[in-house]
Amino acid sequence: MRIYAAKDYKDMSRKAANLISAQVIMKPDAVLGLATGSTPVGAYEQLREWHDKGDLDFSAIRSVNLDEYKGLSGEHDQSYRYFMNHNLFDHVNIKKENTNVPSGLAQDAEAECRRYDGVIRELGGIDLQLLGIGGNGHIGFNEPCDVFEKGTHVVTLTEETRRSNARFFSSIDEVPTHALTMGIGGIMSAKKVLLLASGEAKAQALYDSCFGPVTPGVPASVLQLHNDVVIIADEAALAMIRQKTGWEGEVYDN
């Protein structure tokens, strides 16, 4: 696990985009595992800029997204399919048929989860998985619980997560109560994992994930067991790590 310090959100986003673009350049038909939420928006913006300059070609890239709200269509402006279209897919030359997001409207959600795991297997696995981290340590929508869920599954969102996401909706009552999410097994099977963290609200979770025990109570802590994890975090998110470890540099190998 290697941690890179970023000065601020903009610096974090550019560093993340550099790593993602390197993957695209090195393997033009790579499978990218993509994330949503406010954290990766800046990285997607930078990737769009480099694509517009002719530096990046997404024409052979395949993608799989981490999750989707149960009950929302891809046209709903708070769905993660809509998010990806709006923030990346509509602005680069990726083929939409090569982009994959779980269906929030599947009549049989459990069958949709099995189908989605099959899609990932058929693609040959994920080359680079992008992650954010929740204030409670969740990755994707894998919430703190008693066991690590291996495959894609339906999860009941915690009140903390729903409150955090309520800023994107008119009220918390409109925030879905369930989601379909890639499981810990799917995330851990990626060849490389890139986790981004920004803001002081993520400081405790980031410290616990990197330096605490590996426990499903802090889902991101499982990344300690992955052999190729890069974390890029801004100074606010790194505050507790710096305080408790005495780290003062720009790169930390844990």
Tokens of 102: 């779980």
Active site residue 51: no
Q: Is 125 exposed, middle or buried (0-12, 13-18, 19+ CB in 10 A)?
A: middle
Q: Is 149 a catalytic residue?
A: no
Query: Is 208 in the active site?
Result: no
Residue 143 a catalytic site member: yes
Q: 68, 112, 143, 234: which is the annotated catalytic residue?
A: 143
Considering the candidates 136, 142, 153, 234, report the single residue annotated as catalytic.
136
- Catalytic residue, chosen from 51, 67, 149, 234, is 67
Closest CA to 125 of 237, 33, 236: 33
Catalytic residue among 51, 68, 112, 138: 138
Nearest to 148 by CA among 158, 138, 157, 156: 138
Catalytic residues, by residue number, are: 67, 136, 138, 143
